[in-house]
Amino acid sequence: MNALGLGFAVLASALLAACGSMNFSSEGGDSNLMLRGNDPVAYFAAGKATPGRADIKTEHRGFSYRFASDENRRQFMTNPERYAPQFGGFCTNGMAYSVPIAGATDNFKIIDGKLYMFGGFRSRLYFEMDQERNLKLAWHYWESEVKDANWRLQSWKRLVFRVPHYKTNAELAEEYAKRFGRKPG
């Protein structure tokens, strides 16, 4: 095999290994662990990220979810779509730009009874500047581009070929400062 062919084979292997459109991690026996092992029900009940126990878990759509209690596990199993993170656990603000990036498990917001993750404090802050519009954009891009795509390829694609309404962090910080008379936190 020549060098070019070998290069393509390595690239194809790397891309295939990165297939999927969900933000998950691996830990112990859980290779597809959502929310880095935090209890999805606790975001609603306790209002914060709460570590789940490895011995109290369930599978939903091929992913493992851990729970802090048997009661939380029961609630999840009764209505998993209520508690599972939206956009596969990716950052909601990133999704408004069709860029799937990891959501931080301790930065979230419950909107209309659904769990949305954010990559960081400023990401959530910028999202909230126009929450209704940004949520519509996020759902549009999730359904039309990201949901069934390889998330790494999608990220690269949209970092090179940006959506028409794309704003840099500097532009968003400037917009925030103009609206609120102070720099973002």
Q: What DSSP line would sit under 110-172, residue for residue? A: EETTEEEEESSHHHHHHHHTTHHHHHHHHHHHIIIIITTS-HHHHHHHHHHS--TT---HHHH
Among 30, 51, 84, residue at a domain's last position:
84
140 pLDDT above the threshold of 70: yes
Same domain, 93 and 167: yes
The answer to whether the CB of 90 falls within 8 A of the CB of 101 is yes
The residue-averaged pLDDT of 167-185 equals 94
Q: Tell whether 37 and 121 lie within a shared domain.
A: no
* Amino acid letter for position 59: E
Q: Does position 21 have pLDDT exceeding 90, yes or no? A: no
The 3-state DSSP composition of the chain as helix, strand, coil percent (nearest 5) reads 50, 20, 30
31 and 121 co-located in one domain: no
Question: Which among 44, 63, 84 is the end of a domain?
Answer: 84
Number of domains in the chain: 2
Structural domain contains residue 6: no
Same domain, 111 and 79: no
Decide if pLDDT at 104 tops 90: yes
Q: Which residue has the higher pLDDT, 14 or 151?
A: 151
Q: In this predicted structure, what is the pLDDT of residue 30?
A: 77
- Predicted TM-score of the model (pTM): 0.86
Residues 6+ apart with CB under 8 A from 24: 32, 33, 34, 63, 89
Per-residue confidence at 8, pLDDT binned at 50, 70, 90? Answer: very low
Residue-range definition of the domain harbouring residue 173: 88-185
22 — pLDDT class (breaks 50, 70, 90): low
18 conformational bin, left if phi > 0, alpha if psi -120 to 50, beta if neither: alpha
Share of the chain above pLDDT 90, in %: 82
Domain stop point among 84, 106, 130: 84
Residues 80 and 101 occupy one common structural domain: no
Contact predicate 123/96, CB 8 Å: no
